[in-house]
Amino acid sequence: MELKFYIESGIIESFVLGLATEEEVEELQHMRRLYPELDTEVEFVERRLERAAFDEPAMPPVEIRERVLQKIRWEEGHGHSDPSSNYTFINIQPKDGNHILVHRWWKIFFIIFFIMSKVFLFLAIFYYLKYRMSQEQQRSDNLHQMIRQEQTQSPLL
């Protein structure tokens, strides 16, 4: 009798529509454990609501189905390859023979190559200037030495 009163209170309908509070949901789940026949009643209510909704379905536009299914196909394509998948692969590569397709590692290689070439260029200029300076220094040292030698020889003359 108490269970009948509980069912007739509309608690199941409230749960099914998502209007029951957390406490009410907990209570209902507790009652379902105590009285398994409540499960049948929940199923009755859900089936009634399902029948009511199915009585007047309104199909969403076709593109909505496509969007939903596209997601499934995309997941499949990234999870495991399915030969039955009806994906259409569109090749957007120009066919004029002027373009080539390379691996993405080439991009990193070219960046490193570019940086290294700049470093070597800098070092080359640096050592060239250093070499030039040392040559100048040596030439001026030689010149000084020659002048000094001339100066030491001239008093004797």
Partner 1 sequence: MLIERLVIGDSAAKELLYDRYAGALYNITLQLVPVKERANEVVVKVFHWSFLHIGTFRTSGHRTLFTWLLRKTREFAIKEALPETALTGTELMKQEEGILQQFYLILPADQQQVFRLSYFKGLSITTIARLLALPEAQINEILKEAMKSFRQFLKKTWN
How many residues does this entry show for the chain?
157
- Tell me the C-alpha distance between 157 and 154, whole Å: 5
Strand (E) or helix (H) holding 151: helix 105-153
Q: Using an 8 Å Cβ cutoff, are 20 and 28 in contact? A: yes
Beta carbon of residue 22, minimum distance to partner 1 (angstroms, whole number): 11
2 in contact with partner 1 (CB under 8 A): no
Q: Please select the residue that binds partner 1; options are 57, 83, 94, 155, rule is CB under 8 A.
A: 57
User: Which residue type sits at 128?
Assistant: Y
What is the separation, in whole angstroms, between the first and last Cα of the chain?
145
78 in contact with partner 1 (CB under 8 A): no
Q: How far is CA 21 from the centre of its chain?
A: 39
Site mask for partner 1 (CB under 8 A), range 114-133, x = bound: --------------------
Contact set for partner 1, span 10-49 (CB under 8 A): 10-19, 21, 25, 28-29, 32, 39, 42-43, 45-49
Q: Please select the residue that binds partner 1; options are 30, 33, 65, 118, rule is CB under 8 A.
A: 65
Angle between helices 22-34 and 37-54 (to 10 degrees): 120
Q: Please select the residue that binds partner 1; options are 71, 107, 132, 148, rule is CB under 8 A.
A: 71
Q: Using an 8 Å Cβ cutoff, are 71 and 87 in contact? A: no
Nearer CB in complex with partner 1: 34/101: 34
Tell me which residues touch partner 1 (CB under 8 A): 8-19, 21, 25, 28-29, 32, 39, 42-43, 45-61, 64-65, 67-69, 71-73, 75-76, 79, 82
